[in-house]
Amino acid sequence: MRTYSFEKLEVWQMSRELVKMTYIITRDFPKEEFYGLTSQVRRAAISVPSNIAEASGRKSMKDQAKFYGYSYSSLMELLNQMIIAVDLDYLEENTLNYKVRPLVEKISLPLYKLKSKG
């Protein structure tokens, strides 16, 4: 079975962990938020590894950087939405600060470097 270049990137692997964590966390969000914040948070999380994968398929460094930038923006969007979830009492602040934030920080630096190469 072939392994594609994006699958070898540690930042892509960590972003998959973030997706899984996000889905687990949002299971406890109120049911009336399923088509609101829950959906929005999940889409932002999925966008992070998806745009990393898409960047790997681009030929020019400029195009790659653009998709790494999209991924970075989705990561920041996700963090913002998790902060809002704390404000709305959908998420414990400890979960944000000791689970979500550390992983976001681990992902953000290499992703920022990748997007800056373009």
Has residue 22 been placed in a domain? yes
Has residue 1 been placed in a domain? no
Q: Has residue 68 got a pLDDT over 80? A: yes
Q: What is the pLDDT of residue 117?
A: 81
Distance, in Å, from the CA atom of 106 to the CA atom of 109, rounded to the nearest integer, reads 6
Q: What is the pLDDT of residue 101?
A: 98
Q: What is the pLDDT of residue 44?
A: 98
- The pTM score is 0.96
Has residue 4 been placed in a domain? no
Has residue 88 been placed in a domain? yes
Has residue 3 been placed in a domain? no
For a pLDDT cut of 90, what percent of the chain falls above it? 97
> Based on the structure, what is the number of domains in the chain?
1
Distance, in Å, from the CA atom of 98 to the CA atom of 118, rounded to the nearest integer, reads 32
pLDDT, tens digit, 9 for 90 and up, residues 94-116:
999 999 999 999 999 999 999 99
CB atoms within 10 A of CB 114: 20
Has residue 24 been placed in a domain? yes
Whichever domain contains 84, its CATH number is 1.20.1440.60
Contact residues for 53 (Cβ-Cβ < 8 A; gap 6+):
4, 6, 12
* Residue range(s) defining the domain that contains residue 110: 9-116
pLDDT, tens digit, 9 for 90 and up, residues 42-67:
999 999 999 999 999 999 999 999 99
